[in-house]
Structure 1
Amino acid sequence: MRHSTLLALASAASLSTASPLESRAVAKFPAGTTWDIVLKVVLPLADLQKTKVQALDIDLFDNTEGGKTTIKELAKTKQVICYFSAGSREDWRDDANQFVPADYGKALDGWEGENWLDVKSANVRKIMKARIEFAAKSGCTAVDPDNTDGFSEGQDGFGYPKEVYADYVNYLAGIAKTNNLAIGLKNSLDIIPLVLPNIQFAVNEQCHEFENECALYKPVTAAGLAVFQIEYGGNNCTEPAGVNLSEVIKGADQQLDKLGGQCP
């Protein structure tokens, strides 16, 4: 995660009673799909509806809290990608007490209140299954599970190799497919070859800034899938050969609280 979300999520009771949405085919996100992302605020439905992009990435729980109909209404005209953290325990979330101490490890560097999760834990997987089911019930067409790169430099504190995280992403993808939801890979570039058959898009943050990561998305573009890219600050809208980026330029403060910024 290269940004944080400081908003409350729907009640644990709602998560536990969620059921799959059975009547919808898994959404497709072809390369070049236009998109936007807003996580830090809940914008009026009318503002979201009038944007000209094909897909919107918004916080799952904040946009469903209190019986809001934002997601279901928005999904009538757009693909709605619902964000949640799949690899960290956020202590402000309503279901935070469902994790036992053994489920989480080191703190995420720079992100207060977050700890890396043990992605091999059966309990962690149960909680994430409930979240994905809740996304389906809420009307999302896809999910954006964050923080699936704990293997990078051993930052999770568990010392798991990338293959364990690939297995976790593929597990989440299986749950998503059962619930007729598309799923994306957030960052986690090293496991692209291990999960590519099971994802429908990718989401990257700052690929221009981090050692030219953009070129590593060639297999995703070759598979005909969208690569949704966020660049914080600057104005770099270039694309490496063989990569099709659906790019938005957002503020350097990483607030993700405004619409717009699409590269031409």
Structure 2
Amino acid sequence: AGTSWDILLNKGDTVGNVKQVVKENFQVIDIDLFDTDKATINDLKATKQIICYFSAGSKEGWRPDAGDFKDGDTGKGLDGWPDENWVNVKSENVRNIMKKRIKLAADNGCTAIDPDNVDGFDGNQDGYGYDKKEYADYVKFMAQEAANNNLAIGLKNAVDLIPDVVDVIQFAVNEQCHEYPGECEKYKPLTDANKAVFNIEY
């Protein structure tokens, strides 16, 4: 049997919503790192593993640390997402921002992190022309930081990175692999290693 889970992300208004699911009977919940307070995470931890979501591959203009990004840290805008731009995954400053986010996740009581938007290499979405090698290195960097903070780390989508990072991640979060022929099968290296793949279908 698989692990039961839920994901609850709702920009700017997650705390009230998350409080409603504290007593619901599932084992894992994926919640927003910034929009969920420490007290709520503590309540959830009584019965659940807590995955804390943040965007590692983009700057979201509404986040409290948005001002920490410098000129040159951001590239193209994310299609369909206003006030959000891909980041330069090779930037030391960007990596320092992610270090702080990972530490925040640990300090707030999260048990794992879900760093999103690590597929900017796909079709040169990021505007930097990086390939999957640079993104695999970025995921490995975050995996080491997560380990340093006693956190698990998942891979969000970015299925082409799986062969390069399967040994450093503990789980994956996938959106809609059933919609794309052959995509779900790419998670076999994780399931063969007895690592969870949490699936979302819209």
When the two structures are superposed, what TM-score results if normalisation uses the length of structure 2?
0.95
Equivalent position of 1:83 in the other structure: 53
Equivalent position of 2:151 in the other structure: 181
AA of the residue aligned to 2:25:
K
1:50 aligns with 2:27: no
Q: Which residue of the other structure, out of 155, 161, 178, is the alignment partner of 1:191?
A: 161
1:148 aligns with 2:118: yes
Q: Which has the higher contact order (CA 8 A, sep 6+)?
A: 1
AA of the residue aligned to 1:74:
L
Which runs of 5 or more residues in structure 1 are unaligned? Answer: 1-30, 233-264
SS in 1 for 2:115: strand
d(CA) in 1 for partners of 2:19, 2:56: 29
d(CA) in 1 for partners of 2:180, 2:73: 30
Greater helix share, 1 or 2?
2
Equivalent position of 1:115 in the other structure: 85
Tell me if structure 1 keeps the 8 A contact 2:19–2:40.
no
Equivalent position of 1:61 in the other structure: 34
Structure index of larger Rg: 1
d(CA) in 1 for partners of 2:143, 2:16: 28
When the two structures are superposed, what TM-score results if normalisation uses the length of structure 1?
0.73
- Cα offset for 1:210? 2.6
Equivalent position of 2:172 in the other structure: 202
d(CA) in 1 for partners of 2:32, 2:173: 14
d(CA) in 1 for partners of 2:2, 2:106: 25
- Cα offset for 1:45? 5.6
d(CA) in 1 for partners of 2:18, 2:4: 19
Q: Deviations over 1:57-89 (max 9, x none)?
A: 01111102xxx5001221122100000000000
d(CA) in 1 for partners of 2:39, 2:15: 12
- Cα offset for 1:51? 1.4
SS in 2 for 1:101: coil
The percent identity for this pair of structures is: 61
Moved over 6 A (4+): none
- Cα offset for 1:215? 1.2
SS in 2 for 1:156: coil
AA of the residue aligned to 2:187:
Y
d(CA) in 2 for partners of 1:181, 1:48: 23
Which runs of 5 or more residues in structure 2 are unaligned? Answer: none
d(CA) in 1 for partners of 2:19, 2:63: 27
d(CA) in 2 for partners of 1:145, 1:45: 19
d(CA) in 2 for partners of 1:37, 1:45: 10
SS in 2 for 1:208: helix
Q: Which residue of the other structure, out of 70, 73, 78, is the alignment partner of 1:100?
A: 70
Q: Deviations over 1:93-140 (max 9, x none)?
A: 111111012001000111111100000000000000000000000000
Tell me if structure 1 keeps the 8 A contact 2:15–2:40.
no
AA of the residue aligned to 2:28:
A
Go from structure 1 to structure 2 and tell me whether the alpha carbon gap of 1:44 and 1:111 turns closer, same or farther (over 3 Å shift): closer
Q: Map residues 1-264 of structure 1 onto 2, 5 A cutoff.
A: 32-40=2-10, 41-43=14-16, 47-64=20-37, 68-232=38-202
Tell me if structure 1 keeps the 8 A contact 2:34–2:63.
no
